Amino acid sequence: MIKRFIIALTGFVAVVAFLGGVKASQIQEMAGNQPPVPLTAVTSAMAEPAEWNPTINAIASLAPVQGVTISAELEGTVVEIAVENGAAVKAGDLLIRLDTMVEEAQLKAAQARADLAKLQADRAARLVAQQTISDAENDAAAAQYAQALADVAAIQASINKKTIRAPFDGRVGIRQANLGQFVNRGTPLIPLQRLDTVFVNFYVPQRYLPKLAIAQSVAVTTDAFPDQTFSATISAINPVVDQSTRNVWIQATLPNPDEQLRAGMFARVAVTLPEVQNVVVVPATAISYASYGNSVYVLEAMDGDGGGDPGLVANQRAVVIGPKRGDLVAIVEGLSGGETVATSGVFKLRNGLPVRINNEVMPSQEIAPNPRNT
């Protein structure tokens, strides 16, 4: 019995060993026939050394150099509107006239009194020279004439206040009063803006104050004209720092001869500082952002064959990023320039991963991109 058991056990072991060898051979053959794992495709760009002038970026509002909403100084009825909405006017042009019939009648009466007072004053001057009347009577006649002239001037001033003229060259807006409407004192009538030059008002943190100066250049962009950059110059720096925000009010002057820009527009400004900063520039898509620190993937040659297309491997490198301009980012620390970095597919890379470069479709790498509106 024991001999038979040993023979059966030996046979069983031999069968299992044979089957295991066959299966191992099959697995090895299948593994050898499998295609190689494809390399990760990325686009690449060269990290270029550059000299950038630091800029101060801020949000701004546009304001007119001269702008008012003309209001009625005296009450009355609108009898004439001399300009169309949006018309360009010169200083002194008639805008709106209120009813002055009563004042004109009063002016005629006051002028007649002034003429009579002048005759009496002239007569008194001749008589006092002949010592016919006293000096007191002559002085009274002269005073009555002066009072009559003042009455004429007061009535004429009322007429002038009801004849509303443009105080400066500019462009009127949409009128707020209609023909025949009775307006009270202080009622807004029509806005007037001078737009050939506009102010650009913005605030910057107080730490930038030593770097700003009068006549410094400012680049201005607006959403209304995304393809244009307007050039302004700093014309005033407020001497007081806002106590609540610790910001300084800066005002720049921007020529606007075509009146493209309007008061109240939202704008973005960039003040270029004179100092030069040495940086290494890479596309913004090359940055792998993380809470523990930013990094880029530098493409370096593999040790040995490696099986890559040119034998490249992605090595992660921590960097300190600086200012951004368009599609580009400045690297302050971490790169020395001349390295090849991955610019797309960064999210799927890991340290030491073999890669191949495919630059058929490249992300934008413009310092001043101009995207097409769709």
What is the DSSP-derived secondary structure letter of residue 85?
T
Domains 56-65+190-272 and 94-165 share a fold: no
d(CA 218, CA 233): 6
pLDDT score at 307: 45
Q: pLDDT digit string (tens) for 298-309?
A: 998 876 544 444
Please list the residues that pair with 317 across neighbouring strands. Answer: 296
**SS3 label, residue 259:** coil
Burial 263-281 (b: 16+ CB within 10 A, else e): bebebebebeeeeeeebbb
Contact 303, 261 (CB under 8 A): no
* pLDDT surpasses 50 at 253: yes
How many angstroms separate the CA atoms of 88 and 291, rounded? 56
Tell me what pLDDT residue 70 has. Answer: 93
Confidence bin at 374 (pLDDT 50/70/90) = very low
**Per-residue pLDDT reduced to its tens digit, 359-370:** 887 777 676 665
Amino acid at 302: M
Could you tell me the two tokens for 344?
């797309």
Residue boundaries of the structural domains of the chain? 40-53+277-357, 56-65+190-272, 94-165
Q: What pLDDT score was predicted for residue 369?
A: 61
CATH of segment(s) 56-65+190-272: 2.40.30.170
Dist CA 177 CA 155 (whole Å): 24
Class of domain 40-53+277-357: mainly beta
What's the confidence (pLDDT) of residue 308?
A: 43
In terms of DSSP bridges, do strands 40-42 and 353-357 run parallel, antiparallel, or are they unpaired?
parallel
Q: What is the reported pLDDT for 306?
A: 43
Model pLDDT for residues 165-224, shown as the tens digit of each residue? 999 999 999 999 999 999 999 999 999 999 899 999 999 999 989 889 999 999 999 999
Could you give the CA distance from residue 116 to residue 112 in angstroms, rounded to a whole number? 6
82: confidence class by pLDDT, cuts 50, 70, 90: very high
Q: Please write the tens of the pLDDT for every residue from 107-121.
A: 999 999 999 999 999
pLDDT band at residue 130 under the 50/70/90 scheme: confident
Q: Which fold has domain 94-165?
A: Helix Hairpins (1.10.287)
